[in-house]
Structure 1
Amino acid sequence: MNHGGGGRKPVKTGKELAVIREKVNEQQRQMGKVNKGHHNHEESKKLRPSPLRTPCQQELDQVLERISTMRLPDERGPLEHLYSLHIPNCDKHGNYNLKQCKMSVNGQRGECWCVNPNNGKVIQGAPTIRGDPECHLFYTVHEQEDRGAHALRGQ
């Protein structure tokens, strides 16, 4: 039974970090990145030409670069420094997943919101909640409105 001591166990922090690393590694594998042994920055530039990267992949690369250069100055653990970052949720094609979320903190879910998968911009009218905002409902309507306007212009 938990007696509400606000402190966090180091073991949990380690598990959370491992989960984040695994998610990042999985996204990198899905995007065709190779990461074996020591990372050579010049070599990685040759492996992934910038113009072919999607906006979500580019944003993810920037966040990963920030994480790799972070200093861990105190005993709070590595995750404390990650809470302020938004790590984009990209699908296997490099587009944004409809649902984007902040990290969970102290057992509370992070807020989630809906974005356009092509550009990552927030879908107007969709809620921002701690849970599932059911983005498929809002993107479907948004997408149909865009197609309808495009079809009318073509007439």
Structure 2
Amino acid sequence: MSTEPIESLIKKLSPLMEEESEIFRELAVFFGRASKIQTDRSELSKFLGRKRLYQVLRFTGKSFKDCVYQLVDDHPESMEALGMLRYYTSPKKKIDWEQIEHAEIALGKELTTNAYGWMPDAWTAFEGESDEEGNPHELVAILAFDYGD
């Protein structure tokens, strides 16, 4: 595993990407050290391929599964993506892994009815900053699309 700072690696792989851009910031979060599941940095080079357009989608809901359904129902274009990286942020300091599993299963069931071939297709999770109930569950999806010739 590379010990190079993720921001430097993003700049090396995509030198024209603006450091102030939303996609740059979200990639730095996704591959950052605070995630509860170690992310594979080799996925970054697959994601930042040539001739790509990027989109960041954010969802909040009563559950992670609710966020996944918003992604599928409100953004059918996401099924056309070349790659998708997504992360879940818990509404409190302790992550409910079972809820994330239910969300990923729901996403998988939705995808069986649609042709997709995301490369990469990866997810991770972050703990929230509060122990209070009532904060929304969050899902951030980072998508890469082919913009052609």
Q: Shorter-chain TM-score: what band?
A: under 0.3
Q: Could you tell me the TM-score, scaled by structure 2's length?
A: 0.26
**Structure with the higher helix share, 1 or 2:** 1
Q: Which has the higher contact order (CA 8 A, sep 6+)?
A: 2
Q: Could you tell me the TM-score, scaled by structure 1's length?
A: 0.25
**Structure with the higher strand share, 1 or 2:** 2
